[in-house]
Chain A
């Protein structure tokens, strides 16, 4: 079973709006990461938040982590058409060793 489950599965917004997606997980983690995948391409790392952090920013990205609820959110502010992609959360589980477990992803469409 997948550790990270993302919600919603798909999101359609207008350029300039904010996009928010959530990730829930089941076991204790070292960190949680968000990746982006453009259609037909490999994944690109966006941001990492460690288990002792609650919020992190990188440019137009804001990630929160609530370890008590085992959930994270990714906010993209002032979205652009170029933000159209699939976004995946990945958890570095404490018990899993040297690997990440990926969620099913959120497909984001930003309409110009």
Chain B
């Protein structure tokens, strides 16, 4: 099993450009999450999904959109990138709480720089 994978690993954007980050998991997890991590800080939740076709806002959703068209994939979009979105983005997934899913499995991260 590959676990949680993220593409791309690195990206540099200019202000105003758009891009999509892809997260894929092969563990049949119900829940998926997008976080951002800024230097020396913990993770802040951007958006999350508790099932295919559903998404919800996290702590810092502004400037981002997400889609969960397939259970195994969770996409994070930046429509008009800003320097404040320079960060490392982590995707995570977990089983649903209905089946005792408590722990999250993380991808390796995407390092995004917005100039």
Q: Bound complex: CA of A40 vs CA of B48, how far in Å?
A: 23
* CB of B106 closer than 8 Å to a CB of A: yes
Chain A residues 55 to 104 lying within 8 A of chain B, measured CB to CB, are 88, 90, 92, 98-104
How many of A's residues come within 8 Å of B, CB to CB?
Answer: 24
Minimum C-beta distance from A32 to chain B (A): 10
Query: In this complex, what residue of A is CB-closest to B43?
Result: A102
Contact of A33 with B103 in the complex, beta carbons under 8 Å: yes
Chain B residues 20 to 50 lying within 8 A of chain A, measured CB to CB, are 31, 33, 35, 40-45, 48, 50
Query: In this complex, what residue of B is CB-closest to A103?
Result: B42
Q: Bound complex: CA of A102 vs CA of B90, how far in Å?
A: 13
* CB of A112 closer than 8 Å to a CB of B: no
Contact of B43 with A43 in the complex, beta carbons under 8 Å: yes
Chain B contacts to A: CB under 8 angstroms: 4, 31, 33, 35, 40-45, 48, 50, 58, 90, 92, 96-97, 102-109
Chain A contacts to B: CB under 8 angstroms: 2, 4, 30-31, 33, 35, 40-45, 48, 88, 90, 92, 98-105
Q: Which 10 A-B pairs have the closest CB atoms?
A: A42-B106, A102-B42, A102-B43, A45-B103, A104-B42, A43-B106, A42-B108, A103-B42, A98-B50, A105-B42
